[in-house]
Amino acid sequence: MIPDSDIQTAREWLAGASRVAALTGAGISAESGIPTFRGPGGLWRNFRPEDLATPEAFHRDPNLVWEWYDWRRGLIAQARPNLGHYALAELEQKMGGRFMLITQNVDGLHNRAGSQRVLKLHGDIWWTLCTACGDVTSDYRVPLPELPPRCAKCGGLLRPGVVWFGEALPARTWEQAEEAARSCDVLIVAGTSAVVYPAASLAPLAKRYGARIIEINTEETPLSGAADLCLRGASGELLPRIIAS
């Protein structure tokens, strides 16, 4: 049971902050029923996700990769944002341009909960990127009518608009994430294992620039020892308590 005093401390820090940032990971999506990428629920057709989420895999068999992503999109389409997603959207409403949400998730649940100031470090599973002309569009159809899909503009082969293993994060998005970490007074880290880099470097960066770190997770992580406040529990339970109206 989280002591009320810890919840009150978190509330006071947020109330006194000029700028707040939040970093979310797979844990907050798992609470909406989306299998974590590395969990047993993420396996499909005897392939490891790591063998399907690479440029090499796409070059080798784009149809197989798209079958897997179409399956994932179908799972995500059935999921709903949870109270943790809605609490962060409420915090954005309160703070406006003084709040930034950084997510490692590609499921789009933050947007569906109402968040608009979202930096998507790993892209978005609902985006498609043309490998020929570079056009990026959103496509929410489930299932997709054609696999692999083709670009409506040039007919080129489309790929999922996500960051694969071995690929760099989008440069501008990462720059904005680092700036949000450097400029915030409080950083909420919710549902992330704190082992996936470079995202895991944001909390230490924020701390070096004087931010207080609030970690919300069901278990201890490599960040826990450096966090100023560790709240053990589900994001969907704890975020609404500290971001109370």
Cα gap 26→68, rounded to integer Å: 18
> Which residue carries 């790993």 as its tokens?
122
Q: What is the mean pLDDT of residues 206-225?
A: 96
90 φ/ψ angles, rounded to the nearest 5 degrees: -65, -40
CATH of the domain at 107: 3.40.50.1220
* 98 and 115 within one domain: yes
pLDDT category of residue 214 using cuts at 50, 70 and 90: very high
Q: What number of other Cβ atoms are within 10 A of residue 180's Cβ? A: 24
128 domain-assigned: no
Residue 93: half-sphere exposure toward Cβ, Cα within 13 Å: 12
* 117 and 218 within one domain: yes
Q: What's the pLDDT at 46?
A: 62
pLDDT category of residue 35 using cuts at 50, 70 and 90: confident
Q: What is the mean pLDDT of residues 11-28?
A: 97
Cα gap 88→100, rounded to integer Å: 10
Range from 40-44, 184-188, 211-215, 217-221 carrying the lowest mean pLDDT: 40-44
137 domain-assigned: no
Q: How much is the pTM?
A: 0.94
Q: Is residue 16 scored above 80 in pLDDT? A: yes
Q: What's the pLDDT at 244?
A: 78
Q: What's the pLDDT at 45?
A: 55
Rg (CA), the chain: 18
* 113 and 12 within one domain: yes
Q: What's the pLDDT at 52?
A: 87
Q: Is residue 129 scored above 90 in pLDDT? A: yes
Residues whose CB is less than 8 angstroms from the CB of residue 188 and which lie 6 or more positions away in sequence, other chains included: 20, 21, 22, 23, 88, 214, 216, 239
Average pLDDT, the chain: 93
CATH of the domain at 64: 3.30.1600.10
CB 214 within 8 A of CB 186: yes
* 147 and 99 within one domain: no
Distance of CA 124 to the CA centre of its chain: 9
Count of domains observed in the chain: 2
Given 59, 85, 110, 122, which residue is catalytic? 122
Residue 220: give the domain boundaries. 4-34+80-122+168-242
**How confident is the model over 82-118, as pLDDT tens digits?**
999 999 999 999 999 999 999 999 999 999 999 999 9
* 181 and 71 within one domain: no
Q: What's the pLDDT at 42?
A: 46
Structure token digits, residue 222? 């490599």
Q: Is residue 85 annotated as a catalytic residue, yes or no?
A: no
Q: What's the pLDDT at 183?
A: 98
Q: Is residue 40 scored above 60 in pLDDT? A: no
**How confident is the model over 176-198, as pLDDT tens digits?**
999 999 999 999 999 998 888 99
138 domain-assigned: no
* 203 and 102 within one domain: yes
131 domain-assigned: no
